[in-house]
């Protein structure tokens, strides 16, 4: 038998690109869940804070500055998020290390999801599957394009 909602643990979700077009919509949908602690992250703390200020939410929401090209390992070590959702894109422009964010998530025990719609990026992330499974983590790409998720 499932526990009542009040007995379920809180979940900390970092939405990278959280005040952009797609991130904004995701955060608005997640904000209704009182068991969530949501980190709205992007390159501009000012923009993240401005967006956070517009929300009426049951969730706890914090605005932070985080650049996907910065020190992701240090950020993940200090933020204690359990799930990271990358909605920054364009994923096909991620350069020589396109999966560095997902790889950092694996190192820190963080589930990784992204909104990629680039077929090469999305199919290529399968190379992380064995490592993710061994760690008991999800690495899921193109979650915005999959209605079942």
The answer to whether residue 96 sits within a structural domain is: yes
Does residue 2 lie in a domain region?
no
Identity of the highest mean pLDDT range in 4-8, 68-72, 127-131:
127-131
DSSP H helix total and E strand total for the chain: 6, 6
- 107 within a domain of the structure (yes/no): yes
Q: At residue 53, does pLDDT exceed 80?
A: yes
Residue 123 lies in a domain: yes
Q: Can you give the CATH number for the domain in which 61 is found?
A: 3.40.50.720
In a domain, 80, yes or no: yes
3 pLDDT band, cuts 50/70/90, is: very low
Domain count, the chain: 1
- Residue 53 falls inside a structural domain: yes
Residue 90 counted as domain residue: yes
pLDDT above 90: percentage of residues in the chain: 79
Q: What percent of the chain has pLDDT over 70?
A: 93
| Closest C-alpha to 51, from 87, 83, 2, 76 | 87
Rounded distance between C-alpha atoms, residue 61 and residue 76, angstroms: 17
Q: Encoding tokens for residue 6?
A: 């009040």
The predicted model scores a pTM of 0.91
Average pLDDT over residues 63-81: 94
Residue 82 lies in a domain: yes
**Both tokens assigned to 85:** 């959702």
Partners of 64 in the β-ladder: 41
User: Using one digit for the tens of pLDDT, what is the confidence trace for 105-135?
Assistant: 999 999 999 999 888 899 999 999 999 999 9
Q: What's the rounded mean pLDDT across residues 90-112?
A: 92
Q: What is the pLDDT of residues 17-31, one digit of tens each?
A: 999 999 999 999 999
Q: 149 pLDDT exceeds 70?
A: no
- Domain with 119 in it: 7-145
User: What is the predicted pLDDT for the residue at 16?
Assistant: 98
Q: 11: exposed, middle or buried (C-beta count within 10 Å: 0-12, 13-18, 19+)? A: middle
Q: What is the pLDDT of residue 4?
A: 55
Q: Which of 13-17, 66-70, 83-87, 143-147 is predicted with the least confidence, judged by mean pLDDT?
A: 143-147
């Amino acid at each position: 038998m499932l526990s009542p909602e009040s007995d379920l643990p809180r979940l900390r979700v970092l939405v990278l690109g959280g005040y952009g077009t797609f991130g904004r919509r995701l955060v608005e949908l997640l904000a209704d869940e009182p068991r969530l602690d949501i980190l709205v992250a992007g390159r501009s703390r000012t923009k993240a804070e401005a967006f956070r200020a517009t929300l009426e939410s049951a969730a706890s929401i914090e605005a932070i500055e985080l650049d996907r090209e910065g020190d992701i390992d240090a950020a993940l070590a200090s933020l204690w998020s359990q799930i990271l959702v990358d909605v920054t894109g364009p994923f096909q422009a991620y350069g020589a290390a396109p999966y560095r964010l997902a790889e950092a998530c694996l190192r820190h025990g963080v589930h990784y999801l992204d909104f990629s719609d680039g077929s090469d990026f999305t199919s290529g992330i399968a190379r992380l599957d064995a490592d993710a499974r061994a760690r008991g983590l999800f690495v899921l790409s193109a979650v915005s394009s999959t209605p079942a998720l």
